[in-house]
Amino acid sequence: DAKTTQPNSMESNEEEPVHLPCNHSTISGTDYIHWYRQLPSQGPEYVIHGLTSNVNNRMASLAIAEDRKSSTLILHRATLRDAAVYYCILDSGGYQKVTFGTGTKLQVIP
């Protein structure tokens, strides 16, 4: 499986933007970049995904480097409800397994 590397933890002030980085230097051409988050005592939930172009949805934005070896999840205004573990994972689709790393634990400071 292609591997991802994320910082163990990050902090952000409430109402400020947050940039969560992810390195995936061994990404293959067919790998989609997915982001999930896990709120305390809950199952993971989908946040956003992309292949080559930057993506926006109601939850976040995903900025993908031109060489696709890294990406950044952007939360435009962090709220206390965004405190969670954020996982960056690669998925080549079909019946391939998806591997979750240790993720980045985001703390939001009021």
Of 82 and 87, which has the nearer Cβ to another protein?
87
Give least dist CB 54 to another protein, A.
16
Give least dist CB 62 to another protein, A.
13
Report how far apart, in Å, the C-alpha atoms of 5 and of each of 8, 35, 70, 93, 100 are: 9, 13, 9, 20, 11
Give least dist CB 73 to another protein, A.
15
Report how far apart, in Å, the C-alpha atoms of 28 and of each of 18, 31, 32, 93, 94 are: 27, 5, 9, 12, 14
CA distance 34 to 100: 10
Give least dist CB 15 to another protein, A.
27
Tokens of 31: 């790998």
Of 42 and 67, which has the nearer Cβ to another protein?
42
- Which parts of this chain interact with another protein (CB under 8 A)? 30, 32, 34, 36, 38, 41-46, 49, 51, 85, 87, 91-95, 97-100, 102-103
